[in-house]
């Protein structure tokens, strides 16, 4: 998701406790359009009370209808994903709010400056991954050749895989993974999530069928309680009742199995294009 070249404002990061308030209350100024986005996505600055940050504004008016996600809006589901991420305590989604803007109501999300680091995804020869990597599956690389698609055996990715299973992410691509200079990893583009039907489609299948970590089990137990309380109340205006009930059911199923989910047979397991 390239943006116009500029020096990012200092002092406001995704870990800043005031970032969400800045996004919600600040004045939005459109600086340019992110042209490779499938829906309208605008690169903006937001300023309030002497603070400024870069952000992405996706107006609902610029969303294309999706036959398999007929209810609600992409913007609201992006905010719902942030709310669930915050409830996990993992902070995997950048601060995201639903607000009015120059083109009407939309999602506003803090811009994340990506820091180069060792690759999280790779194509390798052979049928088994090297130590430190997890296999996703075979991929065609042209001229009748195939290679093994792998992702890093990285705790941050494993947490994100759990979050995706909870929110039923139908589009976890490699380009949606944003590592930062402070060692954190953020996931973006959560518009196609929370469907009441199983639509999990991701590159993070490396732990499929493996036991959940003790940390993940503890987080899921916390989510189970939160979904019946304050978190459920926050999600109520953002997703449908059926989608909220399905989210509760997914958390319960993960706790009952104690395992990372495996690909189903009725829905493509990997998004296209994968990156």
Of 24-28, 221-225, 264-268, minimum mean pLDDT range: 264-268
Provide the pLDDT for residue 264.
80
Instruction: Indicate whether 218 pLDDT > 80.
Output: yes
pLDDT tens-digit map of 145-160: 788 999 999 999 999 9
At 120, the pLDDT band (50, 70, 90 cuts) reads very high
At 2, the pLDDT band (50, 70, 90 cuts) reads very low
Provide the pairing of β-strand 121-124 with 145-152. Answer: antiparallel
In the chain, % of residues over pLDDT 70: 93
Identify the residue with better confidence: 198 or 274.
198
Instruction: Indicate whether 207 pLDDT > 70.
Output: yes
Provide the pLDDT for residue 275.
67
In the chain, % of residues over pLDDT 90: 71
Instruction: Indicate whether 99 pLDDT > 90.
Output: yes
Provide the pLDDT for residue 11.
60
pLDDT tens-digit map of 128-182: 899 999 999 877 767 767 889 999 999 999 999 999 999 999 999 988 999 998 8
User: Could you give the CA distance from residue 150 to residue 130 in angstroms, rounded to a whole number?
Assistant: 9
Provide the pLDDT for residue 7.
44
The answer to whether 272 and 202 have CB atoms below 8 angstroms apart is: no
The answer to whether 105 and 59 have CB atoms below 8 angstroms apart is: yes
Provide the pLDDT for residue 9.
46
* Mean confidence (pLDDT) of the chain: 90
At 8, the pLDDT band (50, 70, 90 cuts) reads very low
Provide the pLDDT for residue 274.
66
Segment 207-214 shows an average pLDDT of 97
Instruction: Indicate whether 47 pLDDT > 70.
Output: yes
């Amino acid at each position: 998701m390239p943006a116009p070249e500029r020096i990012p404002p200092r002092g406001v990061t995704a870990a800043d406790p005031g970032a969400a308030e800045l996004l919600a209350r600040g004045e939005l100024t459109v600086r340019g359009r992110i042209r490779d986005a499938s829906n309208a996505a605008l690169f903006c600055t937001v300023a309030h009370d002497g603070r400024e940050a870069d952000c992405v504004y996706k107006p609902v008016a610029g969303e294309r209808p999706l036959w398999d996600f007929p209810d609600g809006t992409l913007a609201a589901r992006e905010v719902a994903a942030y709310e669930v991420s915050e409830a996990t305590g993992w902070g995997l989604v950048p601060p995201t709010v639903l607000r009015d803007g120059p083109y009407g109501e939309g999602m506003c999300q803090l811009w994340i400056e990506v820091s180069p680091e060792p690759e999280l995804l790779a194509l390798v020869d052979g049928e088994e991954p090297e130590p430190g990597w997890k296999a996703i599956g075979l991929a065609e690389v042209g001229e009748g050749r195939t290679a093994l698609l792998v992702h890093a055996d990285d705790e941050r990715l494993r947490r994100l895989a759990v979050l995706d299973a909870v929110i039923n992410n139908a589009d976890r691509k490699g380009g949606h993974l944003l590592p930062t200079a402070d060692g954190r990893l953020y996931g973006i583009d959560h518009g196609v999530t929370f469907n009441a039907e199983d639509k999990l489609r991701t590159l993070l299948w490396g732990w499929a069928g493996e036991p959940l970590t003790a940390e993940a089990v503890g987080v899921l137990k916390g989510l189970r309680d939160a979904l019946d309380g304050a978190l459920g109340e926050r999600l109520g205006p953002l997703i449908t009742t059926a989608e909220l009930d399905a989210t509760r059911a997914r958390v319960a199923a993960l706790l009952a199995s104690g395992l990372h989910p495996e690909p189903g047979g009725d829905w493509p397991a990997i998004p296209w294009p994968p990156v």
